Chains A and B, each alone.
Chain A
Amino acid sequence: MFRNLIIPVLVITAMLSAVPASAQALNDSLFKRDRNVSVKERPKPGYTTDGLPMGRFRVQPILNVQTEFNDNIFASDANEQSDTIFVINPIVQAKSDFSRHELIFGGNVNHREFSDIGSESYTNYGANIDGRVDVKRGTYINAGTNYQKSHEERSEAGFANGVLEPIEFEITNFYAEGVHETGRIRASVSGGFGKWNYEDGQLAGGLPADQDFRDRDIIDAGARIDYAISPDTAVFARVRYQDQQYDFVVPGGIDRDQNGYILDVGADFDLTNLVRGEVGVGYVNRKFDAPLTPDFDGLSYTAKFDWFATPLITVSANGARSVNASGLVASPAFVDTTVGVGADYEYRRNVIFSAAYQHSDQKYRGIDRADKRNTLSAGATYLMNRNVGFNAGIVRTSLSSDGALSQSNFGVTQVRIGLTLKR
């Protein structure tokens, strides 16, 4: 089967190689942000693998095996049931080693086997193809497609109550982005199309739980222009547009079709050996087709900072305000305000400790519901050698939901220990 895949790969490779020469991204780019390296980004020469050579590609197979304890697998406040979950997660990636252009093929499978409550077990899988065509010096096009079959976590906001098994859904995405950089100016345009398709579930007594009302198409488009005011700081202006069209309106429900845009300006920087980040502030607008759902407009912001306290400690902070689809019948979207902090500590070259906290305020449009989600996590990674690594961690997720149409509150604690094998 893999051999069948290689032949079209070589054909595409030959096509890409036919593009007139003149090299990829600029080596002397004013938009590089590589002065500082965070703990997790830092290359670890003794603990990484080069993959297996296969023609003009390097193939890297990875196998993650994990045991997880979950104290509340149904994410419920009234029916807390714990279980132990065995996870097996093979991943393979084939990356080209062309001098120009790039082509990446990937595939993954993620099976979660619940030891006591077998009906919760499921298998996710997916594949992706990503490529970069280097048109000329400083000008390139990224494009790709991916497909992912997944199962919805019971802690998700839109999860269907009462279904016997997790809801299965699939996402298909296509995207393309063109980038041109010359001197102090960098401009990019991007577009994407995504299709979300939910499978029906089953209720107690054999009744079907129709989930087709959540099927939707999403179109994204964006443009951004950056101006480098120095080699380590650039200012930018950006516009992002999104249109969501649901396949149909649930009888008695509301039309959840919507579109909107975010217009913002900001800066990205990599200053001294202490701070790197990107900040954007602007205006967000979202229009809903449902006449009774009020449109939303207001302040939009995104912020992301890495503080390199020492070469061995990276402290990160992020914040964002955005409008996201809800997946609920009665509400098309919610306004999400998220802040988070985290820290990574490189105790040894091969031992990294991490901790993170994230808080989200989610206010739903058109219904009386406001959620507060908190996630606190801590973990450690130990790389034994190039091929073997271990990890362990704990994650505490909690939801506090208020309002007439609130979801039940819950708290879930997951403790995991895992092994990673790679070539």
Chain B
Amino acid sequence: MNIIIKSLFFILGCLALAACQSTGIASGNSVKSSETTREATEYVLGSGDQLRIIVFGEENLSGEFVVDSSGFISMPLIGEVAAGQKSIREFQRSVESKLLDGYLKDPRVSAEVLNFRPYYILGEVTTSGEYPFSNGLTVLNAVATAGGFTYRANTKVVYIKRAGEQNEVQYPLTVSTAVQPGDTIRVAERLF
């Protein structure tokens, strides 16, 4: 009889193991855990962002530009300007310094992001997919955009992989957990 009961527990264990394999959600060694909350920081440009750049008084140098896959913007006269991993202010300064280098005497450059690169959300949300980023977006906003949590969602933590990084990081899910453009947000399953 004991053998049978042990066999049954073995079978139940196998069923549980099979269930773990069947969920299809990546987890494990690519996940890092962060105890700190993820607050909104100054926006950093990246590939896919569409910018409007105005050089005051120089209509031929102004216009709408897209950050290419290498993180550069190609502008008239001065050619390629690095934009990736720079804030808007840093980018404005670098355009101004390039124009100062023999092209204009006192260039005044302003830049704004017209279209942010999208973020992605998947896992235990009603409608996973790609959504446009907006300034000040939090994870809860992103979940609401994706139709809300499913009944199995883990609402305590969230996993976020930033654009260009290899690993996703676990963050505590609070009302202020911020989303950056290009983020891949994964809402995991709860266990209980």
Chain A interface (Cβ within 8 Å of chain B)?
Answer: 42, 69, 71, 310-313, 345-351, 353, 380, 382, 384, 390, 392-394, 413, 415, 417
Contacts and interface: CB of A to CB of B under 8 A. Distances in A.
Contact of B12 (A71, A349, A380, A384): A380
A387 to B, nearest CB: 15
B1 A392 contact: no
Given A69-B4, A382-B18, A349 B11 contact: no
Interface in B1-43: 1, 4-5, 7-8, 11-12, 15-16, 18-20, 22-23
B152 A351 contact: no
Nearest to A392: B11
Nearest to B13: A380
B8 A394 contact: yes
A349 B8 contact: no
The interface size bin for chain B is 20 to 34
Contacts of A353: 12
A417 B11 contact: yes
B1 A413 contact: yes
A208 B18 CA distance: 52
Interface string B149-192: 00110000000000000000000000000000000000001111
B21 to A, nearest CB: 10
B31 to A, nearest CB: 19
A382 B14 CA distance: 10
B155 to A, nearest CB: 11
10 contacts: A69-B4, A311-B152, A312-B151, A345-B192, A346-B152, A348-B22, A351-B16, A382-B19, A384-B22, A390-B15
B8 A415 contact: yes
Contact of B192 (A71, A313, A348, A392): A313
B151 A392 contact: no
Contacts of B8: 392-394, 415, 417
Nearest to B4: A415
Contacts of A350: 19, 22
B11 A351 contact: no
Nearest to B151: A311
Interface of B: 1, 4-5, 7-8, 11-12, 15-16, 18-20, 22-23, 151-152, 189-192
Nearest to A394: B8
B15 A380 contact: yes
Given A71-B1, A310-B192, A415-B5, A392 B12 contact: yes
A398 to B, nearest CB: 14
Given A313-B192, A350-B22, A382 B5 contact: no
A213 B147 CA distance: 63
Closest 8 A/B residue pairs (Cβ) = A351-B19, A311-B151, A348-B19, A382-B15, A392-B11, A380-B12, A415-B4, A380-B15
Nearest to A349: B152
Contacts of B4: 69, 415
A312 B152 contact: yes
Contacts of A393: 8
A348 B152 CA distance: 9
Contacts of A417: 8, 11
B189 A348 contact: yes
A184 B69 CA distance: 64
A36 to B, nearest CB: 11
A392 B152 contact: no
B190 A351 contact: no
B15 A392 contact: yes
Nearest to B189: A348
A347 B16 contact: yes
A262 B151 CA distance: 40
Nearest to A312: B192
A346 to B, nearest CB: 8
Nearest to A385: B22
Contacts of B1: 71, 413
Contacts of A349: 152
Contacts of B5: 394, 415
